[in-house]
Structure 1
Amino acid sequence: MKKRVALFLSVMILLTGCGTTNANNGTVASTEKQTLILSTFGLSADISEEKVYSPFESLNNCDIVTDTGTAAERYTKLSSDPDSTVDVIELSQALTAQGISAGLFEKLDLSKLTNVSDMIDVAKTFAGDGNGVAYTINSMGIIYNPATVGLEIKSFDDLWNAVLKGKIAIPDITTTFGPAMVYIASDHKGVNIKTDNGTAAFKALSELKPNIVKTYTKSSDLVNMFTSGEVTAAIVGDFAVPVLMKANPNLVYFTPKGTYANFNILSVNKNSKHKDLAYKYINYRISSELQTITGLALNEAPTNKKVTFTAAEAANMTYGDVAANAKAVDYSFVNPILNSWVDQWNRTLNN
């Protein structure tokens, strides 16, 4: 059952123009109630309900129904169902690129998304082709338990240390940061991944295998793994850090030099029956007011350049220097060979 909460004044202000306009406050809810089906990662669902969904529902006289799961699960579900009722889908860059190639998404009219003009340059570039809008940037770092780790971890390279035998978890190749994990392995070998299509990377992953307890598909799985002591360190996307540290306050997280960034992208299903409402939701999601709220509540680094955070507030997000120095995975290179990588990954790590 959905929770109903008091609206945030800042969110009410930002949504001016999202409903039917009147002379008093610029917006009133429409009389016909619609349902927006949102395919989403589902992390911190209670917080998203309170901070994101309920305010939008109230101001637009609609219901949001969420379809949750990993990016790969939800993409497969959408791509295999020509009658999908999903309106808006949140995906990683890699899967968004696949969806664009497959013709799954509506070509967006950016004139309907007034907040695009306030986005950081790299995010604005992604939006420029009309295939999707980046609502947050995240990167991968290392989270560990200093009481049990057995060494001082300063870099991704340290995860290959034999002291960590049977102690770490890494994201599976099918997850948001799976391809970036292959890049990191290639960096560990000092090889430009484009020169050998990942050969050196998979050699490095084979060498890392003794240290790996699990290649996980859901970052939420790490909560129990750390709590039980099954793992003492993991590579994880920064979006999962608040949940992990809430469950295990003694954990330490940091973003090593040489990390890789990923944008999470909002796209509209070309078969959506509620495209006007979908546009409103996307514009709302990239507003400075809401991104300030979601940055603090969900650790979502903003793509709206008007959002500012203190150093303490941005400690676990891809923001400022971390965002400026993060490297990018080239999915135009990765996607054509990804099936081969998945096969090599499974033979190397999952046997």
Structure 2
Amino acid sequence: MTTSKSRLLSATTAAALLLASPAAAETLVVSWWGFNGDKLNEFIVQPFQEQCECELVFETGNNADRLNRVQIRGGAGVDVIYLSDSFAQIGVEAGLFQPIDRSLVPNIDGLYEMAQNPHGEFGPAYTIGRVGIVYDAERVTAPITQWEDLWRDDLANALSLPGITTTAGPMVVMIAGEKAGTDAFEDADPAFAEIEALRSNVVTNYNTGSEMINLFSTGEISVSLAQDFALGQLQQAVPSIVWAELEDGDIATLNTVNIPTGAANVELAHEFINFILDPERQALLARNGVDAPVATAVDLTEEEAAQWTYGDGMIAGLQRIDYTQMNAAKTAWIDRWNEVFGM
């Protein structure tokens, strides 16, 4: 069965389709965020359906909601799931994913090493991003060159931090620990003492990218932590915003693809993952503003690469996070963070 139109299904409908439809073997159910819908339809959905002579159906939502649905269904209901690396680690530890058969996904061998096996034998990363510092160069006169510059006296009442439950929030605790000369996973007390000292620089915490952009636009802040996918929108709103070149390196964020343990169409799931990792497909997605490429064979112009975490030098300079430790520490960190910021 071939179709030229993808359908968006609810979690319940998608699960029912797998259980009831006699054509389930020709259907691939993908769980992803649903951002860039038109571009994903043009560059992934339609061409893959033509290749596989199958139909793609979708579950959409945030990381936590979609992972929770898979867990409630005991690892069934979808064939491929897109997750950020922290949530993928939760899924691995919960036994929700099956190992990837690398022989069925040969394009993995052409990825940056960081992307090939971020969680061991499980799914690869299909894109790499980064968390760093952004600032308004017209209002911050001395360039920001290292993470501990966040504590500078000239940044009093100028800073917004990501909320502790966001992707970048817990990274602040790690950064504070490094400033204190300690490992925040081993001893969080010095890290939270540094966060308390940073409090005078903090105007507010933000929980969404749009909140952060608005804070810059209204002039309430001039410095923040950000993920690189927000840089383009930030600079559209405030052209004088720059991405800080940090001597101690930005922090890597990886988006991954995995096959749940109860996937109904495992072979087709492997084919799909190999498809999105193809260098030509990766280049097409990067040039059309969808995702940063992880295939090392992708060659972008300086202009095409400007918005992405791209190139051997940039990738090599990224810091990695141990999400096993991060996920174990996060609950206690949330409570302590809320005490500091009076939440």
TM-score by length of 2: 0.80
**For residue 217 of structure 1, what is the amino acid of its counterpart?**
N
* RMSD of aligned Cα (Å): 3.1
Match of 1:11 in 2: none
Deviations 1:237-264 (A, max 9, x none): 1133233334444422234222221222
Residue 27 of structure 2: which of 15, 22, 34 is its match?
Answer: 34
Is the 2:75–2:263 contact (alpha carbons within 8 Å) kept by the matching residues of 1? no
Is the 1:238–1:318 contact (alpha carbons within 8 Å) kept by the matching residues of 2? yes
State, as a whole percentage, how many aligned pairs show the same letter: 28
Any gaps of 5 or more consecutive residues in structure 1? 5-29
Is the 1:39–1:86 contact (alpha carbons within 8 Å) kept by the matching residues of 2? no
- Note the 1:1-351 alignment, pairs <5 A: 34-40=27-33, 42-60=34-52, 61-69=54-62, 71-82=63-74, 85-126=77-118, 129-149=120-140, 151-194=142-185, 196-258=186-248, 259-298=250-289, 300-319=291-310, 320-351=312-343
Residue 32 (structure 1) shift: 8.2
Residue 203 (structure 1) shift: 1.5
Aligned-partner SS, 2:305: coil
**For residue 48 of structure 1, what is the amino acid of its counterpart?**
L
Is the 2:75–2:96 contact (alpha carbons within 8 Å) kept by the matching residues of 1? no
Q: Distance in 2 between matches of 1:34 and 1:151?
A: 56
Any gaps of 5 or more consecutive residues in structure 2? 6-22
Aligned-partner SS, 2:60: strand
Q: 1:154 to 1:101 in 2, by over 3 A?
A: same
Q: 1:144 to 1:279 in 2, by over 3 A?
A: same
Q: Distance in 1 between matches of 2:233 and 2:268?
A: 30
Q: 1:80 to 1:161 in 2, by over 3 A?
A: farther
Q: 1:208 to 1:37 in 2, by over 3 A?
A: same
**For residue 81 of structure 2, what is the amino acid of its counterpart?**
I
Q: 1:83 to 1:190 in 2, by over 3 A?
A: closer
Deviations 1:58-112 (A, max 9, x none): 444423435032x344434443454763332222222212111101112222221
Is the 1:140–1:255 contact (alpha carbons within 8 Å) kept by the matching residues of 2? no
Residue 337 (structure 1) shift: 2.3
How many residues align structurally?
321
Q: 1:121 to 1:150 in 2, by over 3 A?
A: closer
Deviations 1:315-342 (A, max 9, x none): 3433322211222112233333222222
Aligned-partner SS, 2:340: helix
Is the 1:44–1:298 contact (alpha carbons within 8 Å) kept by the matching residues of 2? no
Is the 2:117–2:123 contact (alpha carbons within 8 Å) kept by the matching residues of 1? no
Is the 2:80–2:269 contact (alpha carbons within 8 Å) kept by the matching residues of 1? yes
TM-score by length of 1: 0.78
Q: Distance in 1 between matches of 2:68 and 2:209?
A: 19
